[in-house]
Structure 1
């Protein structure tokens, strides 16, 4: 049986008595209509905030933190994350409160509502021991050190069949290298994903099975996935090498912004790639300018290719990413839709469309849609702060184009565009 985390209602009045999470999720508790579980908006819960606390779940692990509520969140009778009484909600929003790891049997209390946490981990028969464990639990320093070894060639044998030529970039989970396929001589982009937890055969098989589904995607605007596997505890895959780099680097080279006449054609292609993937039932869930790659066609024009389809989801579902999505090492969710935080488990194609709009916004303005002041909890910003209209950032962007981007970034009461085709057609029309 797969690992899971369960919240069971032991006190209170809710429509559902049990909430089961068997894959990566973020769970926001509060009185707001979009929370799940949603607490009653009654006299017993007046002191509960609309967005009161967040639980980050990657079964069998779970972690909770308060959003700076006046009365705090209680775990086993101990109050966590409460703001001081002299602080306003706006002042509390400037703070990030500590996270608390949850264990089986813990009780969470908000007002008069109490949940009991149930942690179901795989039986010991699924987990190997000793030398069979590929990788111990890794922290960011361990990951950085291993990547440096690989870059220097000290661990070149980790990925047999490929010769690493140089580093192309890196992120929180690994790095990308230009490599040569020793069998064909072709240059490929080799991406390494280092797990933050010990790897067992079940997790390895789950990741490779899920990732294999994305290898079936074939489209001119999707970077083709050639090979994937694991070696020495490092998961790797190779994709076609796009010599013009990534969109974020192009924007940086151009001084932080692209003219509309250059940016919009690229995003029409991005949306074509997204539409194809969505038609195959694959949602990216992690689209950003860094995984929009650029290839130069024979005509000299740039071709956009979306990379990493489904791989972040596969890594999460295999339990290999640890609890890093909302933690200090997770980075800021600057290109993530609010709906994805509220209902991460059921991320729909519309969240990719929102992310594409956020990437286009960034390309046109050099900024991201929401303001993220230093020190302020970025996840609370995503929940509560609306995007800034594009022309407030970049007044020279054509009004009709800015209007379409602003519509695409709308989430209340519904998404402005729910499909890639709708957003593409609106861009073409303006």
Structure 2
């Protein structure tokens, strides 16, 4: 299948991401195409393998498969088709807000990220590099007023409990947890990273005030954590404290955090903010990426979709029961 490269969306340590358009009769769709030279394609193939386990997950970027192409000078390149995020990354979204995001919107975005993490952890994976640059922005779904966030870039993801051959600092230093410095990698790392992201959305600044990797390591190993914003709601501060528990075995997991009272609060109970929420996502029609089907020849088997739908229904039922019990226990539900 032939694709037309429109522009470069970004470059990483081992590949390039292009905005592409499929060249096929009566088929006019756009995608993100992530490409890497064959000799550097290990991470890309690994990412494809992982992402295909998350078909139809609403807060994880969708992958439609991969293929090998022959480029200039007979160079072999491996490519994977991804859904295109017209809103860029969470960093771009923060800029549109003026740097900081109102807490009422942070509340919603945090829940979206947690929904994605729950899927990742229930499949037995750890993202290991959760940060604003790896969270992509899509048009609203399910009649919501806010953009949809999806977790992307699984190049450093690993299996829970599998011996790690990675040497040195894993991920991005500003979002790393204390235990990850000494090589202890679990789902708790992603939760710590989430807390750092929430701090950054609220303050508009990096979670730490130092750029020195050694000083940051020392802070983490001494038991320090990013400062919790003073102007945040009390329940918001409580939520972050659970993300920044030093002991990874006592840090709340994604399922428990989704039932934290902070995420169950109605909007009018959050702090007032003069800043306005962004209007519904608007982009030129040609750049929209909602409900885009896979490219020709890259269809997902129906059995995979049916299994995913069944799992989603079971998760939703469990979460509704947990949410009811949590709200009842904390007095936020009148019975």
* TM-score above 0.5, yes or no: yes
Q: Deviations over 1:35-75 (max 9, x none)?
A: xxxxxxxxxxxxxxxxxxxxxxxxxxxxxxxxxxxxxxxxx
Quote how far apart the aligned CAs of 1:240 are.
Answer: 0.9
> In angstroms, what is the RMSD of aligned CA positions?
3.1
Corresponding residue SS for 1:425: coil
- Aligned counterpart, 2:174: 334
Quote how far apart the aligned CAs of 1:175 are.
Answer: 3.4
Residue 358, structure 1, aligned to residue 204, structure 2: no
The one of the two structures with greater contact order (alpha-carbon pairs below 8 A, sep at least 6) is 2
Give 1:424's match in structure 2, choosing from 258, 262, 268: 258
- Aligned counterpart, 2:294: none
Quote how far apart the aligned CAs of 1:210 are.
Answer: 6.6
Q: How many residues align?
A: 248
Give 2:240's match in structure 1, choosing from 397, 405, 419: 405
Which has the larger share of helix? 2
- TM-score by structure 1 length? 0.51
Larger Rg: 1
Contact kept, 8 Å, 2:30 with 2:84, in 1: the verdict is: yes
Q: Which runs of 5+ in 2 are unaligned?
A: 70-74, 159-164, 266-335
- TM-score by structure 2 length? 0.64
Give 2:11's match in structure 1, choosing from 170, 192, 203: 170
Quote how far apart the aligned CAs of 1:358 are.
Answer: 1.4
In structure 1, C-alpha distance between the alignment counterparts of 2:81 and 2:44, rounded to whole Å: 15
Contact kept, 8 Å, 1:194 with 1:235, in 2: the verdict is: yes
Contact kept, 8 Å, 2:188 with 2:248, in 1: the verdict is: no
Give 1:307's match in structure 2, choosing from 152, 167, 181: 152
Quote how far apart the aligned CAs of 1:410 are.
Answer: 1.8
Corresponding residue SS for 1:181: strand
In structure 1, C-alpha distance between the alignment counterparts of 2:36 and 2:220, rounded to whole Å: 26
Q: Which runs of 5+ in 1 are unaligned?
A: 1-159, 315-320
Residue 214, structure 1, aligned to residue 57, structure 2: no
- Aligned counterpart, 1:250: 93
Residue 161, structure 1, aligned to residue 2, structure 2: yes
Contact kept, 8 Å, 1:335 with 1:368, in 2: the verdict is: no
Cα separation, partners in 2 of 1:238 and 1:380, compared to 1, 3 Å: farther
In structure 1, C-alpha distance between the alignment counterparts of 2:62 and 2:121, rounded to whole Å: 16
- Aligned counterpart, 2:208: 370
Q: Deviations over 1:307-364 (max 9, x none)?
A: 123x3247xxxxxx997x64xxx995111222222225xx222211221221111111
Contact kept, 8 Å, 2:156 with 2:171, in 1: the verdict is: no
Q: Deviations over 1:57-109 (max 9, x none)?
A: xxxxxxxxxxxxxxxxxxxxxxxxxxxxxxxxxxxxxxxxxxxxxxxxxxxxx
Cα separation, partners in 2 of 1:283 and 1:414, compared to 1, 3 Å: closer
Structure 2 counterparts to residues 387-406 of structure 1, below 5 A: 387-391=225-229, 395-406=230-241
In structure 2, C-alpha distance between the alignment counterparts of 1:382 and 1:242, rounded to whole Å: 34
